[in-house]
Amino acid sequence: MAIRKRARLEEISAASMSDLAFLLLVFFMVASVFYVKEGLLTTLPKKDSSPKLVLRKNVYYFKILENEVIVSNVELGNKKYKDLKEFEDNLKEIEIPNINEKFAVLSATNTKIQNVVSVLGAVKSKGFKNITIQKFVQ
Amino acid sequence: MKRSKIFASVPVSSMADIAFLLLIFFMVTSVLKVDADLPLDLPDGKGSELSDDNIIVNIDKNRVFYFGNIPVNERELISRIQAEIQLKPNARILIQAHNDLPYEILDKLFEYLKQIGANNIAIVTKQNERKL
């Protein structure tokens, strides 16, 4: 009498496939880098806006002459920094009683945009508000 | 009578389908935004994050103005910005200027922008990498 054999189903275990898929998913999530556009936000004055009168003692000027930066105010006097690094290092030592005062970044026309952006960024990062950018006529 | 043992198991084979489905979904739906390939060396600086819905003005080291990535002269640039501002009044003008350019270029552009009432601007700094 012939013995009937039980048919065995062959199968490949797919359990580890999900591990592989999630590993890939996590790898791409961790390894991917997003480039974020950053910039210095500025609002230009309106075309027909009339200039406001401000007390001179409340205005702080940051004059940029190529690499040199001069911080000046009626009460503070003039502080001269020979380059941007020295200016950024000493910015925290400049005592300004109120960050809501008016700050004017004045740039000479031949100053590189890089230097203007560095000064503007440093001044903004200190928390100063009311900053204007102007052309400095020597 | 001896009973055969039944092992309790959760079928996980469909988990792979879900994972791959997710992977493919994100690959298909993600959009990679590529900026105009202009040789611009942007200034280094601490800036704030900028949103995408903006008007981009590029200025290369030869002082050529670009509206997006189209080279234009100053007059054309201003008329294009003006037209765009009318469509998107809250849009910000992103100025991507080469870092070696003199400030007078920016100042001139600011004057033009003031004339057409484009007051919201940003000077774009070097792009920063951000991880998830």
User: What residues does each domain of chain A span?
Assistant: 56-136
pTM as predicted: 0.73
Contact B131 A40 (CB under 8 A): no
- The C-alpha angle with vertex B121 and arms to A92 and B50, in degrees rounded to 5, equals 75
**pLDDT on residue B34:** 60
Separation of alpha carbons A129 and B120, rounded Å: 16
Q: Does the distance separating the beta carbons of B47 and A39 come in below 8 Å?
A: yes
Instruction: Tell me the mean pLDDT in the region B93-118.
Output: 91
Predicted ipTM > 0.90: no
Q: In the prediction, which pLDDT does B83 show? A: 93
Q: What residue of A is the nearest CA neighbor of B125?
A: A39
CATH number of A56-136: 3.30.420
Please determine, for residue B130, whether its predicted confidence score (pLDDT) is greater than 70.
no
Greater confidence, A22 or B32? A22
Type and span of the H or E element at A37: strand A33-43
CA distance A18 to chain B (A): 4
Q: How far is Cα A71 from Cα A104, in angstroms, rounded to an integer?
A: 10
Short-list B39, B104, B43, CA closest to B71: B39
Please give the domain boundaries of chain B with CATH numbers for all domains.
Answer: 32-132 (3.30.420.270)
Contacts of B100 in chain A (CB under 8 A): 112-114
Distances (CA, A) of A88 to A63, A118, B40, B124: 14, 9, 25, 20
Q: B44, A33: Cβ pair inside 8 Å?
A: no
Q: Please answer yes or no on whether B113 and A44 come within 8 Å at the CB atom.
A: yes
Mean pLDDT in chain A?
Answer: 81
B38 near B58, Cβ under 8 Å?
A: yes
pLDDT band at B89 (very low <50, low <70, confident <90, very high): confident
- Which of A76-85, B23-32, B34-43 has the lowest average pLDDT? B34-43
As a whole number of angstroms, the distance between CA B67 and CA B73 comes to 9
Residue B84: what pLDDT?
Answer: 92
Residues of A in contact with B43 (CB under 8 A): 113-114, 116-118
Strongest mean pLDDT among A32-46, A85-99, B93-107: B93-107
Alpha-carbon span A37 to A94, nearest angstrom: 31
Q: Cβ separation of B122 and A41 shorter than 8 Å?
A: yes
Interface contacts A/B by beta carbons within 8 Å: 161
pLDDT in tens, A59-103: 888 889 888 889 888 887 888 898 888 888 888 777 777 767 778
Nearest residue of B to residue A11 by CA position? Answer: B13
**Which of the four pLDDT bands, split at 50, 70 and 90, describes residue B2?**
low
SS3 per residue for A54-113:
CCHHHEEEEEEECCEEEEEECCCEEEEECCHHHHHHHHHHCCCCCCCCEEEEEEECCCEH
Task: Establish if B129 touches chain A: CB-CB under 8 angstroms.
Answer: yes
